[in-house]
Chain A
Amino acid sequence: ILNVEQSPQSLHVQEGDSTNFTCSFPSSNFYALHWYRWETAKSPEALFVMTLNGDEKKKGRISATLNTKEGYSYLYIKGSQPEDSATYLCASVEGQGFSFIFGKGTRLLVKP
């Protein structure tokens, strides 16, 4: 069983601050790494799917990197806005790509 760890557990920042979170995962049997954004009272929505070591993905002010050899991924938010407030989940996908193991998420609160 994989153990996916996310840190920090929660984060409070001021509007305009840049921030980043970490997702650690066992690097053996790696298939893919997913990031999801989960707003309160909604369902998780996919942000990025990364499969290759060294992958970097970007969507607006949010970007992510992947290191499969050491088993970590970073999510960066540049110039945080209140609407970025959400829980950010990562999921490690192993084997043939059918088993998703989620971390417990990083809860971000951006204060105006």
Chain B
Amino acid sequence: DAGVIQSPRHEVTEMGQEVTLRCKPISGHDYLFWYRQTMMRGLELLIYFNNNVPIDDSGMPEDRFSAKMPNASFSTLKIQPSEPRDSAVYFCASRVRGPNSPLHFGNGTRLTVT
């Protein structure tokens, strides 16, 4: 299995531009999570999906952030308009149901907003 695949690996954009981050979870995993990593806050949960349905989006910072999962093999996290404070590493992770099931992380997207 190729693991969780995220794209792009790096994104540099100007303030005000739209940014779309992409994630392909491991096949058969029915939970998908989006996390943001910053020095100040560590790993923060933004949103998670179960069977493509958003379950908890209370971690999404504000209306500029949105996430979709149109099918079991693809999810996007969109920021519109982007701001410099959005600069961070964004991780996607997936897992199967069950108490002993760990998260499998992608390699992350490093976003820089200038």
Contacts and interface: CB of A to CB of B under 8 A. Distances in A.
A79 interface: no
Determine the main DSSP class of B at the interface with A: strand
Given A42-B107, A43-B106, A99-B56, A49 B45 contact: no
Nearest to B48: A98
Contacts of B102: 34, 36, 46, 49
Contacts, number: 51
B61 interface: no
Nearest to B105: A43
Interface in B33-72: 33, 35, 42-43, 45, 48, 50, 55-56
A102 B33 CA distance: 13
Given A49-B102, A51-B99, A102-B43, A43 B56 contact: no
Contacts of A99: 45, 48, 56
A88 B91 CA distance: 17
B99 A98 contact: no
A100 B91 contact: no
B25 interface: no
Interface in A15-55: 31-32, 34, 36, 42-46, 49, 51
B99 A32 contact: yes
Given A97-B99, A98-B48, A44 B105 contact: yes
A49 B107 contact: no
Nearest to A44: B105
Given A99-B48, A105-B42, 12 more contacts: A32-B99, A36-B103, A44-B103, A46-B104, A51-B99, A89-B43, A97-B97, A97-B98, A99-B45, A102-B42, A103-B42, A104-B42
